[in-house]
Amino acid sequence: MKNLILITFAALTAIFVLQGCEKARLADISEGKLKATKTELSPYQTDTLLFMGAAAADSVNWTITPAGQDGIRINGNVAIITFFKEGTYTVSAQKASGGVTRSISIKVVKGAPVYPTDSGTTKTTLVTSTSPDTVAFIPITGDIRVTTAYFRLPSRDSVILNLNLQTLNTYCSKGIIQYTSTLDASQNFSLDIINIRAPKNCAGATSPDWQTWTGMVFKTKFIGLGTHKLTITYNNITYTGTIVVTTSNTTINWNYTSGIVIPDKVIDL
């Protein structure tokens, strides 16, 4: 009888521990997390970070420790950071209204792999040969915010410019933005944003719906000084602009305030 009581007590304790862990895990998921395009980079490379615990319109407090060796551009729950000196940095984000602070460690190492250049011109996440019983293709609605990943050679005559996509509406947390992009031999950019691919009924997801984000949608290549065309097709609308690279800065000429939105249009690096 004594053994039975001990076994029962142990089983109940295990259940309570598991329930506590599950509650902690769910709380962690509900508060979101911090994503970075890269967690190891060289000095003067840019990194794009997304705080999943806030919406694009939320005010977010960003901190970098140690401070004073970086440049940061903030747009709601997205931060674009350039680190000027080697070291290990902790980047933290918290809603201005309060809540849990999320952090991520970024290592800046001299000689760390600078974005290796890719062969070919086309990149895609498009998958068509899937079973309709297990996969759903979800139309994207609302604005898509575009941020940049960027690196300039010390000679200042060439840059790497890539784009990250973030939906402002929320979708299945296991969803993937389907797209096809081309960075052609003439150094012009074109991108076709198609839809979101996700498990049917969001099967297997333990997180709530959130904004869908994908980084580095183009092949990684150096582009030279001059003017380069940028064309993005989304929901049967074609958006056009230019990317102008000079020895002083890189400017994205983009006149749209809805649909495809690019908040940061001048990169002074």
101-127 confidence digits (pLDDT tens): 999 999 998 776 555 678 899 999 998
Whole-prediction pTM: 0.70
Q: What tokens does 239 get?
A: 């958006």
Average pLDDT rounded to a whole number, residues 146-168: 88
Asked if residues 228 and 245 have their Cβ atoms less than 8 Å apart, the reply is yes
Spatial separation of the C-alpha atoms in residues 83 and 63, rounded to whole Å: 13
Asked if residues 249 and 269 have their Cβ atoms less than 8 Å apart, the reply is yes
Residue by residue, what is the 3-state secondary structure of 69-133?
Answer: CEEEEEECCEEEEEECCCEEEEEEEEECCCCCCEEEEEEECCCCCCCCCCCCCEEECCCCCCCCC
CB atoms under 10 Å from CB of 215, counted, come to 18
Assigned CATH for 32-114? 2.60.40.10
pLDDT bucket at 188, cuts 50 / 70 / 90 = very high
Q: Where are the alpha helices (DSSP H) in the chain?
A: 2-30
Average pLDDT rounded to a whole number, residues 183-194: 97
pLDDT over 90 percentage in the chain: 46
Spatial separation of the C-alpha atoms in residues 51 and 104, rounded to whole Å: 10
In this model, does residue 9 exceed pLDDT 50? Answer: no
Domain map of the chain by residue range? 32-114, 115-269
